Amino acid sequence: MPDNENRPVKVEVKNLTKRFGDLLVLDDMSFNIRKGEFVCVVGPTGCGKSTFLNCLTRIHMPSAGDIYIDGVPANPRKHNISFVFQEPSALPWQTVEQNISYGLKIKKVPQDEINRRVNQILDLMGLQESRKAYPGELSVSAEQRIIIGRSFAMQPDLLLMDEPYGQMDVKMRFYLEDEVIRLWKELGSTVIFITHNIEEAVYLAEKVLILTNKPAKIKEEVYIDLPRPRDITSPEFIHYRNYITDKIKWW
Amino acid sequence: MDSMSSKQKTIRTVLYWGLPVLAVVLIIIGWISFSSSNPDLMPTPLDVWERFIRTFTRPVAKTTLIGHAWASLRRVLIALFIAWAFGIGFGILIGWNRAARAFFGSIFEVIRPIPPIAWIPIVIMWFGIGEFPKVLLVFIGTFVPLVINTSAGIEMVDKINIHVGRIFGGNDKQILKEIVIPTALPSIFAGIRTSVSSGWTTVLAAEMMGAQQGLGSLVTRGWQGSDLSLVLVAVITIAIIGALLAVILQKLEKVVCPWNNK
């Protein structure tokens, strides 16, 4: 809560509704995300989290309502939206550095700026040594780091992450969670991070959005007011975790 | 790997180098023993070697063995270049564009299973036995595997890769060029490999039906003149050139698809 109120609104979601035929998936969702905010979205499995994300990236168009970035309806051509998928999505025919610069080239960023950003990301993600390697030659966690790096390199208006660590073991997850926080702090990106792991949400987020069961609505916004790095064993942390777990229960 | 002692490694190296050599040696031994007991059915390796030398000293149809090999190779290469251009282009079209697939797909499914040599009578009736019908036959034989492999590769592109392109704001052209075609490149290359071997077999069949020059014509000449040594010279040359083409393609694939080194 503290300094959040001073930051300008970056993303405004207004009455977002999505229907597939008669099936109502997203029901009149409205919320704001401030510039540079780290927001986690949690909700029961199958509650429409993916649909929600796909509306944000415009893979699906909303049935009603809209998403505004800096006051303008979201548009991948105009805005810088990055996405980290749950599945490995590095382009296998490109080297690590080509993967990281991929989006920048599409956006026609000048070459020296591309080089600068790619180098910065390679440093931050510890990928300098494997910059010429292909994703297939690296470990799964390195591949996920490429994708995260590729998204941050865009310096996106909005960075969407869809359970990016869903497939990973605990150790790797902890490591990459810290990496993401480091990048976010360094680059000041606005992040929406979807997860079903409540501990992960409390560990990462400034603000947690709790979704209801389908059709998804915003049940509550919870600000996590804990210093970083967060201690997952501290009583405050556990308090937040239990609170959100209680809210999410639909059984 | 680290646990393997250097002795084991040497044994392995010797084994993997030695076994192919052993296989060739066994074939030659079998050849020698078979030909010495059945001289009418099979010339000895020495006979074949002498016949090989004679293709240079007394050229068949005024052309040395190299001339014949080049005649075959030239036909294949001309047909291949045309087939690569059209086959890959056509494969991309029917793999990417649903309307094109709906329109051409059924025609193609009908033509696809016809073996290239089945076209020989029609092509000879229409175009005679000159250069063009031979190149045309090779083209037919190489076009089909190219289209199949290319379109299959394009259709198999992972949705997620296309989403990556879309989210970063790529338009259709960029997505096709930068996402879809690179993903399909290994299968396109598989099509190229198949097309080369298929082209090489088709040209020989076409030449056996009537040609002044070419390795296929040497096979026919040797066969009709009961000159089995000449047949074997031609067959071995065919095999060596086929193997060389395969090796060249393998190297080329490493250059074109470096990420695909399994």
The predicted-structure confidence for B63-108, as pLDDT tens digits, reads as follows 888 999 999 999 999 999 999 999 999 999 998 888 988 888 888 8
For residues A189-196, average pLDDT: 89
Helices (H), B38-179: 45-57, 65-96, 98-111, 120-127, 131-155, 159-167, 172-175
Domain-located, residue A40: yes
Does pLDDT of A22 surpass 90?
no
Question: What is the CA B73 to chain-centroid distance, rounded?
Answer: 11
Q: Cβ A106–B258 below 8 Å, yes or no?
A: no
Domain spans in chain B, listed from the N-terminal domain onward: 1-42, 43-260
CA B173 – CA B155 distance, rounded (Å): 16
ipTM: 0.71
Treating both helix axes as pointing N-terminal to C-terminal, what angle do B131-155 and B98-111 enclose, rounded to 10 degrees? 130
What's the CATH code of the domain at A66?
3.40.50.300
Domain-located, residue A125: no
Measure A102 CA to nearest chain B CA, in Å: 8
Domain-located, residue A199: yes
Question: What is the CA B212 to chain-centroid distance, rounded?
Answer: 22
CB nearest to B259's CB, from A82, A93, A154:
A93
Domain-located, residue A55: yes
Domain-located, residue A28: yes
CA A247 – CA B149 distance, rounded (Å): 53
Asked if the peptide bond before residue A229 counts as cis, ω within 30 degrees of 0, the response is yes
Over residues A81-101, the pLDDT tens digits come to 888 888 778 888 899 999 999
Average pLDDT, chain A: 85
Domain enclosing residue A209, as ranges: 1-76+156-163+194-251
- Three-state DSSP string of B30-56: HHHHHHHHCCCCCCCHHHHHHHHHHHH
Over residues B228-255, the pLDDT tens digits come to 889 999 999 999 999 999 999 989 988 8
Dihedral Cα B109, B111, B112, B117, nearest 10 deg: 170
pLDDT the model gives residue B3: 55
Over residues B130-143, the pLDDT tens digits come to 889 999 999 998 99
**Which CATH code is given to the segment(s) B43-260?**
1.10.3720.10
The pTM score is: 0.74
pLDDT the model gives residue B29: 92
Neighboring chain A residues of B182 at a CB cutoff of 8 Å: 91, 93-94
Domain-located, residue A118: no
Strand, coil or helix: what is A161?
strand
Does pLDDT of A2 surpass 50?
no
pLDDT the model gives residue A1: 44
Domain-located, residue A54: yes
Which residue from A124, A101, A141, A229 is spatially nearest to A187, judged by alpha carbons?
A124
CA B193 – CA B184 distance, rounded (Å): 14
Neighboring chain B residues of A89 at a CB cutoff of 8 Å: 160-161, 163-164
Assign B1 a pLDDT band (cuts: 50, 70, 90): very low
Does pLDDT of A169 surpass 80?
no
Domain-located, residue A119: no
Total structural domains in chain A?
1
Chosen for mutation from A93, A104, A160 (greatest number of chain B CBs closer than 10 Å) is A93
Strand, coil or helix: what is A39?
strand
Q: Report the share of chain A in percent with pLDDT over 70.
A: 97
